[in-house]
Chains A and B, each alone.
With several copies, the nearest count.
Chain A
């Protein structure tokens, strides 16, 4: 691989926080790393693995400069006083959904989840409310038991210890099928919720202000990586696999997942990756506001809708 030839000029260090252990949502990052896009742009990117601390908090505190996050948690965080900014989208649509085991005949639609048990993959502040809304829209009461399990949520689902969870159809969904315990999904936007960029790249606002050129360099290098992934799924999947020895027990998962993402999630209508629209941002924020989920830093529900125009920018994206 072409790890950029070390130039005499000092590289700008960048810390990038991951939301989860390496998966196809991160392919573009590893492509950019392996292909040397960052080094060519004068950047030295350090990847901070998934940890107990959410990326929103890490970026807000300046412990990371950039990181993977989600539109819903980013919106929630912004209301609570967090000052991060979304610099590009990764998935153009919502790839997460309510997941249940396909074998569960007793669960045919979201309203059957009333009184069941949700296994939360992370103590996300938004998902339970979103799921509750989905159930209500389907005619249920929206009441269920909520267990915070962290990374064990999926094993708990497979083992039948929880009834449903939030999962990436493009990752856990494929993994479940390959394991012989397939899942079925209820997509949130099929039950009245707006579509969203389920995966975004966030930046520390102060850092971008201090390093505008480096920010643009970084975003564009990353965008180039994701563009590569969108265009050449198999090659990109291999790069991801090679960059993370031991992490993927079944590499078929990576290839299938990447194929699906490249085909339906990475590119916008124009075939471009990373773009974001004010509509998508404001629609979700308005929904969350109406659901009473947005609260300020004292925990008081917002009394006016959240203006999302400053929460994201396309400013740093490649023009092409």
Chain B
């Protein structure tokens, strides 16, 4: 029974992948061509707005440097996001277990998002230096909120009757959490993870802008001051690519960790 489902779906992805990618690709190509033609026709200085072709060509020539700067950014992203996830899980679990903490912390968490990180980022550097710590802090600050909210929301999404069922079986609060609330929250968690990871990369770039030795952020800042707008945009493209890849990776992780979720969803179609 399971096999038949797997086999049935096996051929699907290829055709759908094409039909899913064709429309956005078409628009993207149209945009790039317009841009190229406009730059060529108007004779804009490359320092002000380089043509896509120039970005590609110069970016390719600088590929080793760009790659050398991508690695530290990736490293920061992973470390920062790992810390962010730890914080988010801790907060969400605390909030889930204590109604008082929920009432106390949730408004503060929301308010914390109203603080302009760009203004305190330089202070963070002064306080914590320019090693991994300040970057980790900035990335965590930027990303912990959506993940925490997603988790809290996920825990709350647990069916009240499922909790009652567990209670009728004699499960204490902790067992209720492990057997029902935790697995119920995982789909929400993965949705939140996706939002978080996209912010994590731009957060790392941001942290580097404020103070770093290497990394895509500092590379962009340096190229900007060397009037190499083409290389700035090449690095922007690389950053976007990295974000999109990490974003897609979360789908892989989701399938691996909560296979029942996507399977169940798919079975509703049939």
A interface residue numbers (CB < 8 A to B): 15, 20-22, 46-54, 56-58, 60-64, 76-77, 80-82, 122-125, 145-152, 155-156, 159, 161, 245-249, 295, 297-299
Which residues of chain B from 205 to 222 have any CB-CB distance to chain A below 8 Å in the complex?
Answer: 209-213, 218, 221-222
Contact A21 B65 (CB under 8 A): no
Contact A159 B225 (CB under 8 A): no
- Hey, which chain B residues are within 8 Å of A155, CB to CB? 47-48, 126, 227
Contact A61 B130 (CB under 8 A): no
Contact A52 B122 (CB under 8 A): yes
Looking at chain A's contact residues, the main secondary structure is: loop
Known: A152-B210, A161-B129. A81 touches B47 (CB 8 A): yes
Contact A48 B126 (CB under 8 A): no
Contact of B125 with A by CB under 8 A: yes
Which residues of chain B from 173 to 223 have any CB-CB distance to chain A below 8 Å in the complex?
Answer: 209-213, 218, 221-223
Most buried by A among B125, B129, B210: B125
Q: Could you tell me the distance in whole angstroms from the C-beta of B17 to the nearest C-beta in chain A?
A: 36
Contact A249 B227 (CB under 8 A): yes
Contact of B231 with A by CB under 8 A: yes
B interface residue numbers (CB < 8 A to A): 45-48, 58, 62, 65, 121-122, 125-127, 129-130, 209-213, 218, 221-228, 231
- Hey, which chain B residues are within 8 Å of A58, CB to CB? 125-126, 211
Known: A246-B62, A246-B228. A50 touches B130 (CB 8 A): no
Closest A-B pairs by Cβ, 9 of them = A51-B211, A21-B225, A61-B126, A149-B211, A53-B122, A80-B227, A123-B221, A63-B129, A21-B222
Among B46, B58, B223, B225, which residue has its beta carbon within 8 angstroms of that of A50? B225
Assembled-state Cα–Cα distance A214/B62 (Å): 37
Contact B213 A48 (CB under 8 A): yes
Contact A148 B222 (CB under 8 A): yes
Assembled-state Cα–Cα distance A155/B229 (Å): 11
Contact B228 A249 (CB under 8 A): yes
Contact A247 B226 (CB under 8 A): yes
Contact B218 A51 (CB under 8 A): yes
CB-based nearest A residue for B57: A298
Among B130, B209, B211, B226, which residue has its beta carbon within 8 angstroms of that of A249? B226
Assembled-state Cα–Cα distance A149/B211 (Å): 4
- Hey, which chain A residues are within 8 Å of B227, CB to CB? 56-57, 60, 77, 80-82, 155, 249, 297
Q: Could you tell me the distance in whole angstroms from the C-beta of A311 to the nearest C-beta in chain B?
A: 15
9 A–B contacts from the bound complex (CB under 8 Å): A48-B211, A49-B218, A50-B222, A50-B225, A60-B227, A63-B129, A81-B45, A123-B222, A156-B211
- Hey, which chain A residues are within 8 Å of B126, CB to CB? 53, 57-58, 61, 63, 152, 155-156, 159
- Hey, which chain B residues are within 8 Å of A21, CB to CB? 221-222, 225-226
Most buried by B among A52, A54, A148: A148
Q: Could you tell me the distance in whole angstroms from the C-beta of A183 to the nearest C-beta in chain B?
A: 15
- Hey, which chain B residues are within 8 Å of A146, CB to CB? 213
CB-based nearest A residue for B221: A123
Q: Could you tell me the distance in whole angstroms from the C-beta of A298 to the nearest C-beta in chain B?
A: 7
Most buried by A among B222, B228, B231: B222
Contact B228 A149 (CB under 8 A): no
- Hey, which chain B residues are within 8 Å of A151, CB to CB? 122, 221, 224-225
Q: Could you tell me the distance in whole angstroms from the C-beta of B137 to the nearest C-beta in chain A?
A: 14
Contact A152 B125 (CB under 8 A): yes
- Hey, which chain A residues are within 8 Å of B225, CB to CB? 20-21, 50, 54, 57, 122-125, 151
Q: Could you tell me the distance in whole angstroms from the C-beta of B39 to the nearest C-beta in chain A?
A: 14
Q: Could you tell me the distance in whole angstroms from the C-beta of A70 to the nearest C-beta in chain B?
A: 12
Contact A49 B228 (CB under 8 A): no
Q: Could you tell me the distance in whole angstroms from the C-beta of B100 to the nearest C-beta in chain A?
A: 37
Contact A245 B213 (CB under 8 A): no
CB-based nearest B residue for A22: B222
Contact A248 B211 (CB under 8 A): no
